[in-house]
Structure 1
Amino acid sequence: MPDEPDENISGGPGGGGREVAFDLSESETTRAAVVVDRLGDLYWRKAYGGQGGFECLVRTILSQNTSDKASQPAHDELMARFSGGDLAESLAAADREALVDAIRSAGLYNQKSKLIIGVAEEVLADFGSEADFDRYVRKADPAAVRERLLEMNGVGPKTADCVLLFAGGRGGVFPVDTHVHRIARRIGLAPADADHEGVREHLERDVPAEACGFGHTAMIQFGREYCTARKPACLDGPEACPMADVCAQVGVSPETGDVFDPADVRE
């Protein structure tokens, strides 16, 4: 199985969530749904939710522009030093240098420490406590929650969607990171020139709601193991990739070995 940290936001054997049954025959069999169903066979089928909303927000900020293996120790150290009560209160009042020291392994620690203190202050000012914010994430209208999260400094669409998925347990949410953005366009599940939001809209439209969560985490793992940016497995022949028969190979030429960003492909 994939080599993942014991606890993280990216799924995997120990990444949280619960196993779910998913029967593609009960859903519209779009090509995107077929791809996600096969990813579920290849990796895991999990339903997510139940993480604390504020902790998930902090964890996802830590994960920006780095790997789970780098951000996980930073999250663990932050929790060891600042949890024990209301996490938002602790972080809003945190000594900046102490927070920097705690999260150093995640990289960009000066920027991330400033963002984390800022969102902590905003959560307290607007919601009153970590618990009230967590309740808002779980129970308020998902579109409203997403919009409110996007108003926070340092929170982009992927971060907002991860909070909705992993903390809110919202179905039909398909966060798009660099792996998902590349793979969805390369396979042909979204237009070659689609930006991250365009890819998200196509996947959330074409993938059954109950499969979006594991579709996101399994597609990330597929991007790490098979469909890498520079050397996708299909360059070694169709038998090397479990998605070969459903992939449009946009931007990939096994004949020449050339690999382009799908947006750079010209008809």
Structure 2
Amino acid sequence: MLTKEAAQHVIYEIMKLYPNAVPMMHYQNPFQLLMVVILSAQATDVSVAKVKDKLFERYPNPQAVSESSPEEIESYIKTVGLYRNKAKYIYKSSCQLLEKFDGKVPNTRKELQSLTGIGPKSANILLNVAFSQDAFAVDTHVARVCKHHKIVEENATPKQIEERVTEIIPAKYWGRAHQSMISLGREICTPRNKKCHEYPQLYKDLEEEPTDTV
């Protein structure tokens, strides 16, 4: 595993490769993002993109979902992996929003993780993307990038990856680092045929601590 200074350097270089990285999925409000986050677990962006617009149209708010049923929700998302469980999560979390939060998506980690289907990764995405709070989410792309580039140990858990990254870079960069690592994981540090060797700056081991600028 890289030293703190070297790992910080690698993260900054990844951010430099993707200075304008933003979420690929479009949404109009926190509730839509919540549904997208639930759908995205173990599913491709392409499969989610194909169903989200009709889902948003049919279910513009938690009230509309609560008046429906998991079975009806299934009919809108059946091309997405694990759709039966996800339909239940969307239904249950919508009911919880109405019961506990006046139909609004909460903006604290504890409250978000009290919702069915929302774990640490999803909560961090919602905090950062929907509410502009400093948070670092660890998905499969982020985990692969961090392990391949030795920012963390190969057997590191998502929680350990989050703790390591948030320890070595300032909070103001957490969201950008997350999005940049996703882009690198999709285009360069892919599950197969990695092209990381074409970017030697991602492997440089520093002797001196880098400046706090990107």
SS in 1 for 2:42: coil
* CA shift digits 1:66-97 (9 cap, x unpaired): 111111222211012222xxx01111111333
SS in 1 for 2:163: helix
1:1-267 residue pairs with structure 2 within 5 A?
30-45=5-20, 52-83=29-60, 87-130=61-104, 133=105, 136-137=106-107, 145-171=108-134, 173-234=135-196, 238=197, 240-246=198-204
Following superposition, the deviation at residue 244 of structure 1 comes to 4.3
TM-score normalised over the length of structure 2: 0.83
TM-score normalised over the length of structure 1: 0.67
* CA shift digits 1:180-217 (9 cap, x unpaired): 11211221212332100000011111122222112111
Cα distance in 1 for residues equivalent to 2:58 and 2:200: 44
**Structure 2, gaps ≥5 residues long:** 206-214
Following superposition, the deviation at residue 100 of structure 1 comes to 1.2
SS in 2 for 1:59: helix
Letter of the 2:76 partner, please give it: A
Letter of the 1:195 partner, please give it: T
Following superposition, the deviation at residue 174 of structure 1 comes to 1.1
Alignment RMSD: 2.3
Cα distance in 1 for residues equivalent to 2:53 and 2:96: 23
Cα distance in 2 for residues equivalent to 1:127 and 1:77: 25
Q: Check whether the contact 1:226–1:241 (CA below 8 A) recurs between aligned residues.
A: no
User: How many percent of aligned residue pairs carry the same amino acid?
Assistant: 28
SS in 1 for 2:203: helix
Count of residue pairs brought into register by the alignment: 199
Higher relative contact order (CA 8 A, sep 6+): 2
| Runs of 4+ in structure 1 over 4 Å off | none
Q: Check whether the contact 2:21–2:180 (CA below 8 A) recurs between aligned residues.
A: no
Cα distance in 1 for residues equivalent to 2:102 and 2:63: 10
Letter of the 1:64 partner, please give it: A
Q: Check whether the contact 1:47–1:213 (CA below 8 A) recurs between aligned residues.
A: no
Following superposition, the deviation at residue 53 of structure 1 comes to 2.6
Following superposition, the deviation at residue 65 of structure 1 comes to 0.6
Following superposition, the deviation at residue 44 of structure 1 comes to 2.7
